[in-house]
Amino acid sequence: MKEEEPASDERLVALRSRLEAARDLSTERIATEIREVGFRCLRCGECCRGEDNSVTVFPSEIRRIVCKTGKSWLEVVEPPQLGEWDSKGNFHTLEWRLRKEGPGCRYYSDCRCSIYPDRPLLCRTYPFYLEDGDLRVSECRGLGGAIEHRAALRLASVIKKRYLTEIEESIELVRRYRDFERGRPSPEGEGVCIVHDSEGEHPIGWNRIPDRRRRCLLGD
Protein backbone atom coordinates (compact mmCIF):
# COMPACT_ATOMS: atom_id res chain seq x y z
CA MET A 1 0.00 0.00 0.00
CA LYS A 2 1.25 3.48 -0.87
CA GLU A 3 2.42 5.40 2.20
CA GLU A 4 0.35 8.53 2.75
CA GLU A 5 2.15 11.85 2.14
CA PRO A 6 2.46 13.85 5.37
CA ALA A 7 0.48 17.11 5.38
CA SER A 8 2.52 20.20 4.52
CA ASP A 9 2.49 21.42 8.17
CA GLU A 10 4.01 18.13 9.30
CA ARG A 11 6.56 18.31 6.50
CA LEU A 12 7.49 21.84 7.57
CA VAL A 13 7.98 20.78 11.18
CA ALA A 14 10.17 17.88 10.05
CA LEU A 15 12.19 20.11 7.69
CA ARG A 16 12.71 22.79 10.34
CA SER A 17 13.98 20.24 12.80
CA ARG A 18 16.28 18.82 10.11
CA LEU A 19 17.58 22.34 9.52
CA GLU A 20 18.33 22.77 13.24
CA ALA A 21 20.23 19.49 13.29
CA ALA A 22 22.08 20.42 10.08
CA ARG A 23 23.34 23.69 11.61
CA ASP A 24 25.05 21.66 14.35
CA LEU A 25 26.92 19.38 11.95
CA SER A 26 30.66 19.47 12.49
CA THR A 27 32.71 20.41 9.43
CA GLU A 28 35.71 18.80 11.17
CA ARG A 29 33.88 15.48 11.21
CA ILE A 30 32.82 15.83 7.57
CA ALA A 31 36.40 16.72 6.61
CA THR A 32 37.74 13.68 8.44
CA GLU A 33 35.29 11.44 6.56
CA ILE A 34 36.26 13.04 3.23
CA ARG A 35 39.92 12.27 3.99
CA GLU A 36 39.05 8.67 4.88
CA VAL A 37 37.32 8.26 1.50
CA GLY A 38 40.02 10.25 -0.31
CA PHE A 39 39.45 12.55 -3.25
CA ARG A 40 41.40 14.40 -5.88
CA CYS A 41 39.68 16.02 -8.87
CA LEU A 42 41.30 14.60 -12.01
CA ARG A 43 39.67 17.25 -14.23
CA CYS A 44 38.36 14.45 -16.44
CA GLY A 45 35.05 16.30 -16.93
CA GLU A 46 33.08 13.06 -16.70
CA CYS A 47 30.61 14.53 -14.21
CA CYS A 48 29.89 17.39 -16.66
CA ARG A 49 29.75 15.44 -19.92
CA GLY A 50 27.97 12.19 -19.14
CA GLU A 51 24.34 11.21 -19.82
CA ASP A 52 23.77 11.21 -16.07
CA ASN A 53 24.66 14.88 -15.78
CA SER A 54 21.67 16.62 -14.19
CA VAL A 55 22.49 19.70 -12.13
CA THR A 56 19.77 20.95 -9.79
CA VAL A 57 20.16 24.66 -9.43
CA PHE A 58 18.51 27.09 -7.00
CA PRO A 59 16.92 30.42 -7.99
CA SER A 60 19.70 32.52 -6.41
CA GLU A 61 22.31 30.49 -8.32
CA ILE A 62 20.37 30.88 -11.58
CA ARG A 63 20.21 34.64 -11.05
CA ARG A 64 23.98 34.78 -10.58
CA ILE A 65 24.61 32.81 -13.80
CA VAL A 66 22.05 34.94 -15.68
CA CYS A 67 23.80 38.07 -14.47
CA LYS A 68 27.31 36.83 -15.32
CA THR A 69 26.49 35.35 -18.73
CA GLY A 70 23.91 37.89 -19.93
CA LYS A 71 21.64 34.99 -20.92
CA SER A 72 17.94 34.77 -20.09
CA TRP A 73 16.57 32.51 -17.35
CA LEU A 74 15.37 29.91 -19.84
CA GLU A 75 18.66 29.97 -21.70
CA VAL A 76 20.35 28.95 -18.45
CA VAL A 77 17.91 26.40 -17.05
CA GLU A 78 15.12 24.04 -18.07
CA PRO A 79 12.38 22.16 -16.22
CA PRO A 80 13.22 18.61 -15.14
CA GLN A 81 11.63 15.67 -16.86
CA LEU A 82 9.67 14.24 -13.95
CA GLY A 83 6.34 15.76 -13.08
CA GLU A 84 2.56 15.37 -13.02
CA TRP A 85 -0.32 16.60 -15.17
CA ASP A 86 -3.25 18.53 -13.78
CA SER A 87 -6.88 18.36 -14.89
CA LYS A 88 -6.44 21.46 -17.09
CA GLY A 89 -3.66 19.96 -19.17
CA ASN A 90 -0.77 21.71 -17.38
CA PHE A 91 2.43 19.86 -16.53
CA HIS A 92 3.79 20.47 -12.99
CA THR A 93 7.37 19.89 -12.01
CA LEU A 94 9.76 20.83 -9.19
CA GLU A 95 12.91 22.96 -9.29
CA TRP A 96 15.26 23.68 -12.17
CA ARG A 97 18.09 21.91 -13.94
CA LEU A 98 20.98 23.54 -15.78
CA ARG A 99 20.36 23.33 -19.50
CA LYS A 100 22.01 20.52 -21.37
CA GLU A 101 23.42 20.39 -24.82
CA GLY A 102 23.67 16.90 -26.20
CA PRO A 103 24.18 14.51 -23.30
CA GLY A 104 26.12 16.87 -21.04
CA CYS A 105 26.06 20.28 -19.44
CA ARG A 106 25.99 23.16 -21.92
CA TYR A 107 28.68 24.99 -19.91
CA TYR A 108 31.30 22.32 -20.48
CA SER A 109 33.39 23.20 -23.49
CA ASP A 110 37.06 22.98 -24.45
CA CYS A 111 37.62 20.62 -21.52
CA ARG A 112 36.58 23.23 -18.96
CA CYS A 113 33.60 24.74 -17.17
CA SER A 114 32.87 28.13 -18.75
CA ILE A 115 31.07 29.37 -15.61
CA TYR A 116 33.55 27.91 -13.12
CA PRO A 117 33.54 30.79 -10.55
CA ASP A 118 29.73 30.82 -10.60
CA ARG A 119 29.04 27.11 -10.91
CA PRO A 120 26.25 25.75 -8.67
CA LEU A 121 26.85 24.26 -5.22
CA LEU A 122 26.15 20.80 -6.59
CA CYS A 123 29.14 21.11 -8.95
CA ARG A 124 31.36 22.54 -6.20
CA THR A 125 30.73 19.57 -3.95
CA TYR A 126 30.59 16.67 -6.41
CA PRO A 127 31.04 13.71 -5.71
CA PHE A 128 30.04 14.40 -2.08
CA TYR A 129 26.71 15.32 -0.53
CA LEU A 130 24.90 15.00 2.78
CA GLU A 131 21.78 12.93 3.29
CA ASP A 132 20.07 12.96 6.67
CA GLY A 133 23.30 14.41 8.02
CA ASP A 134 25.48 11.57 6.71
CA LEU A 135 28.16 11.98 4.09
CA ARG A 136 27.37 10.20 0.83
CA VAL A 137 29.56 9.71 -2.19
CA SER A 138 28.66 9.47 -5.89
CA GLU A 139 30.66 7.66 -8.52
CA CYS A 140 33.86 9.46 -9.45
CA ARG A 141 37.29 8.50 -10.79
CA GLY A 142 38.98 10.87 -8.34
CA LEU A 143 37.87 8.95 -5.24
CA GLY A 144 40.70 7.50 -3.20
CA GLY A 145 43.07 10.35 -4.06
CA ALA A 146 45.02 12.19 -1.39
CA ILE A 147 43.45 15.36 -0.02
CA GLU A 148 45.09 17.55 2.58
CA HIS A 149 43.29 18.57 5.75
CA ARG A 150 42.73 22.23 4.84
CA ALA A 151 41.31 21.36 1.41
CA ALA A 152 39.04 18.75 3.02
CA LEU A 153 37.86 21.34 5.56
CA ARG A 154 37.07 23.85 2.81
CA LEU A 155 35.17 21.20 0.87
CA ALA A 156 33.32 20.12 4.04
CA SER A 157 32.14 23.63 4.66
CA VAL A 158 30.73 23.95 1.09
CA ILE A 159 29.07 20.53 1.45
CA LYS A 160 27.42 21.70 4.67
CA LYS A 161 26.37 24.97 3.01
CA ARG A 162 24.78 23.01 0.16
CA TYR A 163 22.90 20.80 2.64
CA LEU A 164 21.58 23.82 4.59
CA THR A 165 20.55 25.52 1.32
CA GLU A 166 18.75 22.39 0.13
CA ILE A 167 16.72 22.24 3.35
CA GLU A 168 15.97 25.98 3.33
CA GLU A 169 14.85 25.73 -0.30
CA SER A 170 12.62 22.75 0.55
CA ILE A 171 11.00 24.71 3.38
CA GLU A 172 10.17 27.60 1.04
CA LEU A 173 8.98 25.19 -1.64
CA VAL A 174 6.59 23.46 0.75
CA ARG A 175 5.37 26.83 2.11
CA ARG A 176 4.52 28.14 -1.36
CA TYR A 177 3.37 24.93 -3.01
CA ARG A 178 -0.30 24.83 -4.00
CA ASP A 179 -1.60 21.38 -4.78
CA PHE A 180 -3.74 20.69 -7.85
CA GLU A 181 -6.26 18.21 -9.19
CA ARG A 182 -4.44 15.44 -11.07
CA GLY A 183 -5.33 14.88 -14.72
CA ARG A 184 -4.18 13.07 -17.84
CA PRO A 185 -1.19 13.93 -20.01
CA SER A 186 -1.99 16.49 -22.66
CA PRO A 187 0.49 15.68 -25.42
CA GLU A 188 -1.00 18.37 -27.67
CA GLY A 189 0.53 20.86 -25.29
CA GLU A 190 -2.78 22.61 -24.54
CA GLY A 191 -1.68 23.92 -21.16
CA VAL A 192 1.64 25.19 -19.89
CA CYS A 193 4.57 23.78 -17.95
CA ILE A 194 4.51 25.00 -14.34
CA VAL A 195 7.75 24.87 -12.37
CA HIS A 196 7.35 25.03 -8.58
CA ASP A 197 10.37 26.33 -6.68
CA SER A 198 11.23 28.13 -3.45
CA GLU A 199 9.92 31.39 -4.95
CA GLY A 200 6.53 30.07 -6.07
CA GLU A 201 5.00 28.94 -9.37
CA HIS A 202 6.46 29.73 -12.78
CA PRO A 203 4.18 28.99 -15.74
CA ILE A 204 6.11 28.60 -19.00
CA GLY A 205 4.57 28.30 -22.45
CA TRP A 206 5.70 25.15 -24.26
CA ASN A 207 7.16 27.24 -27.09
CA ARG A 208 9.72 28.67 -24.61
CA ILE A 209 11.09 25.27 -23.61
CA PRO A 210 14.04 23.83 -25.57
CA ASP A 211 12.87 21.42 -28.31
CA ARG A 212 14.67 18.40 -26.89
CA ARG A 213 13.12 18.81 -23.44
CA ARG A 214 9.67 19.70 -24.82
CA ARG A 215 9.61 16.58 -27.00
CA CYS A 216 10.57 14.54 -23.96
CA LEU A 217 7.82 16.00 -21.76
CA LEU A 218 5.09 15.96 -24.40
CA GLY A 219 6.15 12.64 -25.86
CA ASP A 220 6.34 14.07 -29.45
Chain contacts with ligand SF4 (rule: CB under 6 A)? 48, 53, 55, 98, 105, 107-108, 113, 115, 119, 123
CA distance 128 to 125: 6
Between 84 and 116, whose beta carbon lies closer to ligand SF4? 116
State in angstroms the smallest separation of the CB of 61 from ligand SF4. 10
| H-run or E-run covering 112 | strand 112-113
Between 96 and 107, whose beta carbon lies closer to ligand SF4? 107
Between 85 and 107, whose beta carbon lies closer to ligand SF4? 107
Between 127 and 200, whose beta carbon lies closer to ligand SF4? 127
State in angstroms the smallest separation of the CB of 10 from ligand SF4. 34
State in angstroms the smallest separation of the CB of 42 from ligand SF4. 14
CA distance 220 to 203: 20
Burial 158-182 (b: 16+ CB within 10 A, else e): ebbebbbbbbbbbbbbbeebeebee
End-to-end CA gap in the chain: 33
State in angstroms the smallest separation of the CB of 58 from ligand SF4. 13
Specify the length of the chain in residues.
220
State in angstroms the smallest separation of the CB of 48 from ligand SF4. 3
Phi, psi dihedrals of residue 119, rounded to the nearest 5° = -65, 150
Q: Specify the amino acid at residue 60.
A: S
Tell me which DSSP letter residue 202 carries. E
Between 11 and 40, whose beta carbon lies closer to ligand SF4? 40
